[in-house]
Amino acid sequence: MLGGHDARRADEDHAEPNQQWQPVFDKLSHSLVGRLCQTLAKHDGVSQKRPTKSANLKSAIHNPKSELGSPLAFEPIFMERMWGGRRLESEFQKKLPPQKRIGESWEIVDRADAQSVVSSGPMRGKTLHELWTQHRWEVFGKVPETPRFPLLFKILDAQEKLSLQVHPPGNVASRLGGEPKSEFWYVVAADPGAELFVGFREPITRDRFEKGLRKGTVIDHVHRIAVQAGDAVFLPAGRVHAIGAGNLLIEIQQNSDTTYRTFDWNRIDPATGTKRNLHVEQAIQCIDFEDVQPRLIEAEGELLVSNSLFEIRKWNLDDAREAAPLRQFAIACCLTGNLSCGKSKLAPGEFFLISAHSEERQLNPLAPDTSLLRITIPV
């Protein structure tokens, strides 16, 4: 443990195909883990009724002198990956555990096996699941009814290629016992020659795809896109994809951890001395074989993507700006420069959540060329 953060080791890029994948922890090092387990046992997977009394929270929100109106920041959870590195430390000054290849920083998450915990202020120590189940109206406003906070925010450091994989659409996920997952990538930094693998170069049949897997030539059928900082792509469920080496990405996704691997570059996991498991049969049922040459997102002004899951905008913050209208929450991720909201500050690679009823809603640039991603959930 370093700086109060977890470091966890799992054998997956994102998940085992089982619907209840559990990562294997090196250590559960969070000082609050005992209370967290009790909280999860009490609230796991159950949408709680809104409490009839949350006087302390409500009074604090409406008290302009209270720090509770300030944005909520969370402790990141670091995930060790065989393809990861140390770039989260060099680029974003995150306090990584020593001598570990950290591939993912889970910044905001509400899952049974991974919980974001508020890092400071009057709500310090509360989990995201507690906020979602006990204080939903005050913190999140009017949002879709779901058992857990419906999004998951990560930063990915791909020093090596990830496996070629796919996530299931809703109808297939229910049949396979997994969770549907669509996601968005924003390229924060990319080495020269870095690329993403998304969709197919040309329409392909299932038989031809399986033949390519057997021969080890399947990647010849996959569409490659050269990327640089500032590029973004949307990955609907069913789109075959892989992250190329040398990419540092922000990932915004459905709250799901179901991934099916089809090809892993014939690598040997140094931790086990064996090849990682593939999930070809499950993946075949999910892949959209007519998904040909998808493109990077072409922004419409500030708007990058808007669908039923999330709306993501990129703001170049030259002047103070309201994060979202009152009674609507928003999440901000600093990309460049620095910004503040109330007493809270954000540096590149940091996130915070502006509560729906917070009176401190102005995002203020603290440096030239400040930019951010602003994320909301459409209602």
Contacts of 275-278 spanning 24+ positions with Cβ under 8 A: 276/11, 276/12, 276/163
Distances (CA, A) of 210 to 161, 176, 205, 241, 343: 21, 20, 9, 16, 55
User: How far is Cα 72 from Cα 128, in angstroms, rounded to an integer?
Assistant: 10
Q: Is 129 exposed, middle or buried (0-12, 13-18, 19+ CB in 10 A)?
A: buried
Going by C-alpha positions, the residue among 74, 69, 92 that lies closest to residue 157 is 92
* Cα–Cα distance, 340 to 5 (Å, whole number): 23
Amino acid at 53: K
Q: Given 239, 261, 313, 361, which residue is catalytic? A: 261
CA distance linking residue 107 with residue 227, whole number of Å:
24
Burial bucket for residue 149 (CB in 10 Å: 0-12, 13-18, 19+): buried
- C-alpha 237/C-alpha 250 separation (Å) is 18
Residue 24 has a CB neighbour count (10 Å cut-off) of: 11
Angstrom distance (rounded) from CA 116 to CA 331: 14
Task: Give the chain's largest Cα–Cα span.
Answer: 66
- What DSSP designation does 311 have? E
Task: Spell 305-318 as b/e; 16+ CB within 10 A means b.
Answer: beeebbbbbbbebe
Q: Give catalytic status of residue 261 as yes or no.
A: yes
Just list the catalytic residues. Answer: 261
